[in-house]
Amino acid sequence: MTKFVTLRRPDDWHLHLRDGEMLRAVASYSSHFGRAIIMPNLVPPVVTGAQASAYRDRITAALGQKMTLRPLMTLYLTESTDPADVVAAHAAGIISAVKLYPAGATTNSASGVRDFDKVRGVLDAMAEAGIPLCFHGEVTDPAIDIFDREAVFIDRVLDPIRRATPGLKVVMEHITTSDGAEYVSANDNIGATITTHHLVINRNHILAGGIRPHYYCLPVAKRETHRLALRRAATSGDARFFLGTDSAPHPDRAKESACGCAGCFTAPNTMSILAHVFEEDGALDRLEGFTSLNGAAFYGMAANDDTIRLVKRDVPAEYPSHIPAGDETVTVFDPGFPLYWHVEDPA
Binding residues for Zn(2+): 14, 16, 99, 136, 174, 246
SS3 of residue 132 by DSSP: coil
SS3 of residue 145 by DSSP: coil
Backbone angles phi, psi at 37, to 5 degrees: -80, 120
DSSP readout, 42-108?
-SS---SHHHHHHHHHHHHHHH-TT---EEEEEEE--TT--HHHHHHHHHTTSEEEEEE-BTTSSTT
Nearer residue to Zn ion within complex by CB, 265 or 341: 265
Nearer residue to ligand DOR within complex by CB, 10 or 112: 112
Per CB under 6 A, residues contacting ligand DOR are 16, 41, 106-107, 136, 217-218, 246, 248, 262-263
Which partner in Zn ion, ligand DOR, none is near 138 (CB below 5 to 8 A by kind)? none
What's the closest the beta carbon of residue 328 comes to ligand DOR, in angstroms? 14
Nearer residue to Zn ion within complex by CB, 238 or 246: 246
Binding residues, as ranges, are: 14, 16-18, 41, 99, 136, 174, 218, 246, 250, 262
Length of the chain: 347
For residues 98 and 133, is the Cβ–Cβ distance under 8 A? yes
Helix-helix angle 270-280:224-235, to 10 degrees? 90
What's the closest the beta carbon of residue 246 comes to Zn ion, in angstroms? 4
Report the 10 Å Cβ neighbour count for 342.
17
Long-range CB contacts (< 8 A, 24+ apart) of 187-191? 187/162, 189/162, 190/162, 190/240, 191/240, 191/241, 191/242, 191/294, 191/295, 191/298
Residue number of the CB atom closest to Zn ion: 246
Which partner in ligand DOR, Zn ion, none is near 263 (CB below 5 to 8 A by kind)? ligand DOR
- As a whole number of Å, the end-to-end CA separation of the chain is 26
Cα separation, 95 vs 86, in Å, equals 8
Nearer residue to ligand DOR within complex by CB, 127 or 217: 217
Q: Figure out which of the listed residues 12, 150, 246, 288 binds Zn ion, where binding follows CB under 5 A.
A: 246
Which partner in Zn ion, ligand DOR, none is near 218 (CB below 5 to 8 A by kind)? ligand DOR
Binding mask 195-234 for Zn ion (x = CB under 5 A): ----------------------------------------
Binding residues for substrate, as ranges, are: 16-18, 41, 136, 218, 250, 262
Question: Cβ neighbours of residue 208 under 8 Å, at least 6 residues apart?
Answer: none
What's the closest the beta carbon of residue 5 comes to ligand DOR, in angstroms? 29
Cα separation, 324 vs 326, in Å, equals 6
Nearer residue to Zn ion within complex by CB, 217 or 274: 217
Whether residue 124 lies in the annotated active site: no
Which of the following is catalytic: 238, 246, 252, 314?
246
What's the closest the beta carbon of residue 160 comes to Zn ion, in angstroms? 23
Peptide bond into 45 cis (omega under 30): no
Which partner in Zn ion, ligand DOR, none is near 217 (CB below 5 to 8 A by kind)? ligand DOR
Cα separation, 287 vs 235, in Å, equals 7
Binding mask 139-178 for Zn ion (x = CB under 5 A): ----------------------------------------
Nearer residue to Zn ion within complex by CB, 41 or 235: 41
Question: Cβ neighbours of residue 186 under 8 Å, at least 6 residues apart?
Answer: none
Instruction: Catalog residues that contact Zn ion under the rule CB under 5 A.
Output: 246
- Active-site annotation, residues: 246
